[in-house]
Structure 1
Amino acid sequence: MVPPGSADPPGGAARGRPGWSGGRRRRDVPRPPSRPSTGPSARPEAPTRWRSEWYPDDEDAPPSSARHGFTEPPRPRTAGDDGPAPPRKLTVTRVVFWRGRVFTRRAVRAYRGALHADGADRSGLAALTRAVMLNYATDATLAVALANTLFFSAATAESKTKVALYLLVTVAPFALVAPVIGPALDRVQQGRRVALAVSCLGQALAAVVMALHYGDWLLYPAALATMVLSKSFTVLKAAVTPRVLPEGITLVKTNARLTVFGLAASAVFGALAAGLAKLSGSPGALWFTAVLAVVDAALCLRIPSWVEVTEGEVATSLRARPRRPRRTPMGGRVLVALCGNGTIRLLTGFLTLFAAFVVKAQTEHSPLRQVLLLGMIGAAAGIGNFLGNAVGARVHFGRPDQAVIGCLSGVLAATVLAAVLPGIVTAAVLGLIGATGSALAKVSLDATIQDDLPEAARASAFGRSETVLQLTWVFGGALGVLLPPTYWIGFTVMSAVLALGLAQTVLYRQGASLLGYLGRWTRLADRFGRGRREPEHTSPLPTEPAGGRSEGATGTT
């Protein structure tokens, strides 16, 4: 190949145009062979000579491999072999669009990889994860819609009255219904997928009613129905999860994974609902909630059918002596972990509504500042929840009940600090520590249930414990509405409540209680239900080994 403008090689003359540059392509044309040289320094001549011609830079120019008879190496692609090729003509718009496609493809690939990790696609955990993600999403979109209707659209006193009325109409009936949810769902031994789908369709119907009547009294019974159905979904999910565990993955890690996926879905769809509420008001977000709930119902029916196999399952009871002989008592360590978790949930529910009303009262005439401050507290709580679940899924706690007490102690210390140094910064720090402690305590509760209860009783135990935790969160939210919107008052009262909860949890672990009859009840629970049980043990009432208590009964693992 002879470049244009250079000296002609022996045996021929090269034709070329000096000065040609980009935007043109050179085509090499064969030439007749020249006479071979005979000197001592003769070198073999190529049988053909090449000349340069020009093609416009378009798609009609033949490729180099077709012109020369060889294959060129492929051009490197920065987006990966299966990613979109970069644009041929670089402009800002094209590069931004291409980068968006690349990042979207990578995000989808990472999501699918995490969703199907550890054999989750074969065990059915991936299908359950999709349904749980949309359930979290519907809760987030509903919260955005109701917050705009009950909170941001009214003055502080009016919004406080509206939220108090909302909690009065919803919390009081839910307090009566919640103890019935667990036992009622224990009876659902067949049709759990259908029950999950029905709960989602019920939420969709309630969202439609709220969208059509968000300004009158029908909003409150529809909100109550949504709350009950959402908590029923959570309880059913807890009962279904042990049936879709992949081999080699623990129940603790599975629950943490479900929570992380759910929180991610809440952030994404909550932001979308906020945009819809900004454009079309609360009805737009409520209609969006209804659509998500219908899609969630379809995803629930795609869960594998083997979750319906409940042969050998037994129900559990919080009582030391169950009223029905076929029920299994949860045991002392499970009750300790459950009491500690419930106390922390009181704080998270309290902080959710209390911080909102304090910020609204202090920034009455600055809506943008309200959103920024509430976003800071919410972001801190979200980061804490992610952090707690991520750490809990990777760290093994030798004594989960002690870990719960440690989490509760840390949360109490942060609450006392917020009461001594009131302000938005300490409230955000408390949100971070409270969410992290709540996630770690929940992981410890799951580990305690997995260690201390037989496999046949775990599904019922998860359902019962989830009902208790949801109820305590609701009561914490009610306390946040009833207290005056002043940082030091609210956090001082909450510190006293947490101190009582911590004392009760420690006394539970020692077989005592703040009240005498509760102490006797706990000692009976230790006698009949405490201690580690083997997974294959399915007896309703476990007995102590002949040589005395097992190692788990002494509080060690």
Structure 2
Amino acid sequence: MRAVGAGLGTGAKATARGLKATAAVTGRASRATFRQARKAAGAQGAERSGLKRLIELHSFNAAGDSAFAIALAGTVFFAGATSGERGPVLLFLGLTMVPFAIVAPLIGPFLDRFSHGRRWAIGSTFALRAFLCWILAGTLADGSPWFYVAALGVLVSSKAYGVAKASAVPRLLPHEITLVKANGRVALAGVVGACVSAPLAGAAYWIGPEWACRYAFVVFAVGTVAAILLPDQVDSSTGEESVESPRDAVTGARRTTGLPPKVAFALRANCGPRLLSGFLTMFMTFVLATEPLDGWETTTKSTVLLGLVIGGAGLGNTIGIFVASLARKINPVVMVVVALLADIVALLFATIVYSALPLVILGLTVGLMQYLAKVSLDSTIQTGVPARAHASAFAKGDTTLQLAWVVGGFLGVILSYPAVNDFGLAFAAVLVSAWAVFVLRSAPHKRGSQQSPPIPA
């Protein structure tokens, strides 16, 4: 018995030492990864200018948003997108427009007027989401009608943060990097934050959806403090101009949109990839479920193929983030046109050769080009719009692009019916091609306005 006890004691000590050693190694690896991430965030003058803090703040934003999405995964806000029924999907598309309908006419101009307190404006978007997530944690269980108000409040606050963050990036830009690369680096931090947070939020959701909301509350609360501690440069008004719609170079009349020709052109070009993204998401969701490709007839195989197509779009988006953050030079004026034309080529290829591989290539291309076009639009707004009007310009741009995505989604749902789905991709190809012709014909130099120099990346 003594021998057995001694053996057990020795085994327990060995196990304890092993666990301690494993924990030490894991801890060192985690600290090393954290140090490397912080070092990368502060590279090329980002630490000196304060951009590093904004990069880290954006990772908290993405972490909180991913936790919120996981907490509401089974509700009408997110379940409708994958319910397999057209009614809930159309409701979901309508709900996605609500935050943008509020952001554009109200929050954008408010943030412009509040430009000397951007840190507090950004912090307020975090604080409000923290408060609403705490409210949501209680409403998820009892089905209170306040659930819808709180959920929409979180979505609106998230969009308001995006607008405020985009207007803050130019004020923290170091001389060593340019806007496209800075925007890409901020977006990459968001990917990292979401990837780290999602498993933690998933574990909390396993206990109960309300715990995922409480986890999001903690993340947003920490983000509130981080936002208030952003550098003073975020509130700087140096070089700002008054908010007024610029005059047309030919007629001298004020443009009603308030967007310079180059910015309006980039926004129009972005509508093509964004519309195609919404169309592809909804169209493929229904068509591959009801009329699967040859060799993919089983439910499991058709689901896998849909995952490959939609997952390819997500992978393309991630690749775009890496390209934007690492590329030495991207010309935004050229990139928005290249993105539109590349989507058309991939769409025509998938229409003519309708099979698994072309569809996956189409998804990858749409995701990649959508991000590169959007980051090019952001840099064009940041350099082509007066600083005091940045928030309104970003809100207007985001609303327009979301509307394009919703229109594409509605078309995808309608054209997915069996009677017309054979012509769905061909219709989309004709529509996006016609839009490309319109965009190219409306280029700034065609209207006689002066073309500004390209923006290096």
Q: TM-score range by the shorter chain?
A: 0.7 to 0.9
Equivalent residue for 2:295?
none
Task: Give the distance between the partners of 1:213 and 1:343, measured in 2 at CA.
Answer: 39
TM-score, normalised via structure 1 length: 0.65
- Which residues in structure 2 correspond to 1:98-247 (within 5 Å)? 99-150=25-76, 160-172=86-98, 174-175=100-101, 177-214=103-140, 215=143, 217-247=145-175
- Alpha carbons of structure 1 residues 312 and 157: separation in structure 2 relative to 1, 3 Å: closer
Aligned to 1:79: none
Deviation per residue, 1:188-215 (Å, 9 max, x gap): 1222111111112222333334433344
Q: Helix, strand or coil for the counterpart of 1:111?
A: helix
- In the alignment, the residues of structure 1 paired with residue 395 and residue 99 of structure 2 have an alpha-carbon distance, to the nearest angstrom, of 19
Of 416, 427, 435, the match for 1:484: 416
Q: 1:308 aligns with which of 226, 231, 235?
A: 235
How far apart are the structure 2 equivalents of 1:162 and 1:182? 30
Deviation, 1:253, is: 1.2
**Equivalent of 1:495 in 415, 426, 429:** 429
Answer whether contact 1:412 1:498 (CA < 8 A) is retained: yes
Identify which of 160, 178, 183 aligns with 1:250.
178
SS at match of 1:198: helix
Give the aligned partner of residue 269 of structure 2: 340
Matched residue, 2:7: none
Q: CA deviation at 1:90?
A: 13
- Measured after TM superposition, the shift of residue 235 of structure 1 is 0.6
Report Cα offsets for 1:58-94 as digits up to 9, x if no partner.
xxxxxxxxxxxxxxxxxxxxxxxxxxxxxx9999867
- The Cα shift of 1:254 comes to 0.7
In 2, distance between residues paired with 1:147 and 1:393? Answer: 31
Q: Verify the 8 A CA contact 1:200 1:297 in the aligned structure 2.
A: yes
1:506 correspondence with 2:440: yes
Q: Distance in 2 between matches of 1:326 and 1:153?
A: 41
Post-superposition shift, 1:135? 1.5
Q: Determine the C-alpha separation between the residues in 2 that align with 1:184 and 1:151.
A: 27
Check the 8 A contact 1:330/1:453 in 2, yes or no. Answer: yes
Alignment of 1:73-84 (within 5 A): none
Q: Separation in 2 of the partners of 1:163 and 1:216?
A: 23
More helix by share: 2
Matched, 1:272 2:195: no
For 2:343, the aligned partner's letter is: V
Paired residue type of 1:309: S
**What is residue 42 of structure 1 aligned with on the other side?**
none
CA offset at residue 175 of structure 1?
A: 3.1
Q: Cα distance 1:500–1:96, how it changes in 2: closer, same or farther (>3 A)? A: farther
Structure 1: distance between partners of 2:156 and 2:252:
26
CA–CA separation in structure 2 for the residues paired with 1:359 and 1:288 = 36
Tell me the SS of whatever aligns to 1:336. Answer: helix
**Aligned residue among 352, 362, 369 for 1:437:** 369
Contact 2:97 2:402 in 1 (8 A): no
1:111-157: CA deviation from partner (whole Å, max 9, x where unpaired): 11112212322322111112211222223233333333348978976
If asked which structure has higher relative contact order (CA below 8 Å, sep 6+), I would say 2
8 Å contact 1:340–1:404 — kept in the other structure? yes
The correspondence for 2:316, drawn from 343, 367, 384, is: 384
- In the alignment, is the contact (CA less than 8 A) between 1:170 and 1:220 conserved in 2? no
> 1:306–1:270: structure 2 CA closer, same or farther, 3 Å change rule?
same
TM-score (norm 2): 0.78
- Alpha carbons of 1:465 and 1:258: their partners in 2 closer, same or farther (altered >3 Å)? same
CA–CA separation in structure 2 for the residues paired with 1:271 and 1:489: 40
Q: Does 1:418 align with 2:350?
A: yes
AA of the residue aligned to 1:194:
W
User: What is the Cα deviation at residue 507 of structure 1?
Assistant: 1.2
- State the Cα deviation string for residues 480-534 of structure 1 (Å, max 9, x = none): 555537775554443343223212211111666xxxxxxxxxx3xx54xx332xx
Rg larger in structure: 1
Structure 2 gaps of 5+ residues are 1-13, 293-297
Distance 1:429 1:300, change over 3 A: same
1:455-500 deviation digits (Å, cap 9, x = unpaired): 7776765565445434544554455555537775554443343223
- 1:110: how far off? 1.4
Change (3 A) 1:125 1:446: same
CA contact (8 A) 1:397 1:403 kept: no
Give the counterpart letter for 1:257 in structure 2: R
Deviation of the 1:319 alpha carbon: 7.6
* Counterpart Cα distance in 2 of 1:230 and 1:372: 31
Q: Which of 438-447 and 129-138 deviates more?
A: 438-447
Q: Which runs of 5 or more structure 1 residues have no equivalent in the other structure? A: 1-87, 513-522, 533-551
